[in-house]
């Protein structure tokens, strides 16, 4: 008996397990898995260089996995709507299945595609695969969105347990005829030898890599997660963020895997709260879609920021003269990732010590992070800058020296990423400008030559930032 041929549009869900759209299509009949490359449809946020590298590797991994099931991944160039309608006609598809995305530009494409596909006689089915709960399931009183995380977390904890993850299909029925397709190179995913050599030392994109990373975290890191997650010199975090962003593993898979340990390991509950913060970021983006470009608190459009190109470049390149800040920015340039504690410090330094626009930092992260995620990038930058949801108080200005002493006491993290300071005594490693001349000489450090002097004085920068925020508050009260 003939069964329906269905297109499955892969997007930010590059996996086979817990893939509701794929599972539904496989149950209905023959499946044509499709990925459409359409960066122009991402609005102001097309994938950055690190994201493009990851996506290229992940698509190759997905195609390999699909071939093991008797299928393959069809690659096509956008625009998305005509590309999918053309592919549907070529293979005789009568249905279109896909999982939602929540970025404003992506949601716009979904609306257009649904209307066009249904007008062409295709049955359209859309699923949630990126979040623990459907958008709108967790809302405050009178259906209003949450603006603070703690009430959102309490609501999430009181909700029914997220659905169990779905298994991957054992086999996929191919269509009688495959549609036309492109190669990765034809789509513009040409290999970047330097980027590939560098990032492949640290990452294994793809569903198998995600499962490996989760297994290591559960076995080796979850027990010590509460105490080690803030120590950048230690490998104490999950590093699942890029796998979650590209959908190589689902949040439901991670939630239930960690939840099994919640009674025995206190770290499990701490980590689940972090996973809920990711959920909150999407809640924030869905309800306030303007925030990637503008602050949630519109008063911050009046904040008198400073536009220093030289200081912005110093921050970007990790030559600010503050070792912890420089270590974080160099880790980013090398690995495409940065420890979360250090992300907060470098973001605070840019927005408060340097009084630069938070959008400048968000753009730099977007281009260079392998886990560049619009919802999380937006929430976290606005949180540090003090202009978004559940923000850090405006007067909270991270002292990079005190933060370094607390979370990198022996200077191991700084020594790894700022090697010109590696021989400096631990007393001075986080404040070399205050080191005794003989200590600098013994370590081979020449301030202003082998390592820069601070581009701003902490006390003066802090006072300037507090004055700017105080002026903003005074204007808001008029």
Structural domains for the chain? 4-129 (3.40.50.620), 131-164+199-287 (1.25.40.80), 298-473 (1.10.579.10)
Give, as one character, the DSSP assignment of residue 370.
T
Nearest to 82 by CA among 39, 116, 122: 116
Mean pLDDT of 240-245: 98
Confidence of residue 303 (pLDDT cuts 50, 70, 90): confident
Q: What mean pLDDT, rounded, does the chain reach?
A: 94
**pLDDT value at 416 more than 90:** yes
pLDDT score of 279: 97
Dist. CA 375–CA 382, nearest whole Å: 11
**pLDDT value at 214 more than 60:** yes
**pLDDT value at 471 more than 90:** no
Element (H, E) at 13: none
Mean pLDDT of 274-284: 96
Assign residue 156 a region (left: φ > 0; alpha: ψ between -120 and 50; beta: otherwise): alpha
Determine contact, residues 221/228, Cβ cutoff 8 Å: yes
Nearest to 95 by CA among 119, 117, 128: 117
Omega before residue 79 within 30° of 0, cis: yes
Confidence of residue 472 (pLDDT cuts 50, 70, 90): confident
pLDDT score of 475: 58
Confidence of residue 264 (pLDDT cuts 50, 70, 90): confident
Q: How many CA atoms does the CB half-sphere of 157 hold within 13 Å?
A: 12
Higher model confidence: residue 371 or residue 300? 371
- Class of residue 226 by CB neighbours under 10 A (exposed 0-12, middle 13-18, buried 19+): middle
Determine contact, residues 391/383, Cβ cutoff 8 Å: yes
pLDDT score of 394: 65
pLDDT score of 461: 96
pLDDT score of 478: 47
pLDDT score of 470: 87
Q: Is 465 helix (H, G, I), strand (E, B) or coil?
A: helix
Q: How many CA atoms does the CB half-sphere of 223 hold within 13 Å?
A: 4
Q: What is the pLDDT of residues 5-46, one digit of tens each?
A: 999 999 999 999 999 999 999 999 999 999 999 999 999 999
Query: What is the biggest distance separating any 2 CA atoms in the chain, rounded to whole angstroms?
Result: 85
Determine contact, residues 374/285, Cβ cutoff 8 Å: yes
**pLDDT value at 116 more than 70:** yes
Q: What is the pLDDT of residues 320-329, one digit of tens each?
A: 999 999 999 9
Dist. CA 371–CA 358, nearest whole Å: 18
CA distances from residue 59 to 47, 77, 363, 369, 475 in whole angstroms, order as listed? 14, 14, 25, 18, 51
pLDDT score of 1: 36
Nearest to 182 by CA among 109, 95, 78, 97: 78
Nearest to 357 by CA among 384, 395, 390: 384
Mean pLDDT of 106-129: 98
Q: In what order do the strands lie in the sheet with 29-37?
A: 74-77, 29-37, 4-10, 95-99, 123-127
Determine contact, residues 296/389, Cβ cutoff 8 Å: yes
């Amino acid at each position: 008996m003939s069964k329906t041929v269905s297109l499955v549009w892969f997007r930010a869900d590059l996996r086979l397990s817990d893939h509701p759209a794929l599972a539904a299509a496989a149950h209905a009949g023959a499946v044509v898995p499709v990925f459409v490359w359409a960066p122009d449809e991402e609005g102001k946020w097309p994938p950055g260089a690190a994201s493009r590298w990851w996506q290229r590797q992940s698509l190759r991994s997905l195609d390999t996995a699909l071939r093991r099931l008797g299928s393959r991944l069809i690659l096509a160039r956008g625009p998305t709507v005509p590309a999918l309608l053309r592919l549907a006609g070529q293979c005789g598809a009568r249905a279109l299945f896909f999982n939602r995305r929540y970025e404003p530009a992506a949601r716009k494409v979904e609306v257009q595609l649904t209307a066009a596909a249904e007008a062409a006689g295709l049955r359209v089915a859309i699923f949630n695969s990126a979040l623990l709960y459907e958008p709108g399931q967790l809302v405050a009183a009178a259906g209003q969105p949450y603006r603070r995380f703690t009430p959102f977390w309490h609501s999430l904890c009181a909700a029914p347990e997220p659905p169990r993850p779905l298994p991957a299909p054992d086999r996929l029925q191919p269509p009688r005829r495959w549609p036309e397709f492109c190669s990765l190179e034809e789509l513009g995913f040409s290999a970047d030898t330097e980027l590939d050599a560098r990032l492949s030392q640290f990452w294994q994109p793809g569903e198998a890599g995600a499962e490996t990373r989760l297994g290591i975290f559960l076995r080796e890191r979850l027990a010590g997660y509460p105490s080690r997650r803030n120590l950048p010199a230690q490998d104490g975090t999950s590093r699942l963020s890029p796998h979650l962003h590209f959908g190589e593993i689902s949040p439901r898979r991670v939630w239930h895997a960690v939840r099994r340990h919640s009674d025995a390991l206190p770290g499990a509950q701490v980590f689940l709260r972090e996973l809920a913060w990711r959920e909150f970021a999407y809640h924030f983006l869905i309800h306030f879609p303007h925030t990637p470009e503008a602050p949630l608190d519109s008063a911050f459009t009046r904040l008198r920021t400073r536009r220093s190109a030289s200081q912005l470049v110093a921050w970007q390149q990790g030559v600010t003269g503050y070792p912890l800040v420089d270590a974080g920015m160099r880790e980013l340039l090398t690995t495409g990732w940065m420890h979360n504690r250090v992300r907060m410090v470098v973001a605070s330094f840019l927005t408060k010590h340097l009084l630069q626009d938070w959008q400048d930092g968000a753009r730099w992260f977007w281009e260079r992070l392998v886990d560049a995620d619009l919802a999380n990038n937006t929430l976290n930058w606005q949180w540090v800058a003090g202009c978004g949801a559940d923000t850090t108080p405006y007067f909270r200005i991270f002292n990079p020296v005190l933060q370094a002493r607390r979370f990198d006491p022996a200077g191991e993290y700084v020594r790894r990423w700022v090697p010109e300071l590696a021989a400096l005594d631990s007393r001075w490693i986080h404040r070399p400008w205050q080191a005794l001349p003989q200590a600098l000489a013994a370590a081979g450090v020449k301030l202003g030559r082998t390592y820069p002097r601070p581009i701003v004085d902490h006390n003066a920068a802090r006072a300037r930032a507090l004055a700017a925020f105080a002026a903003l508050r005074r204007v808001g009260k008029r």
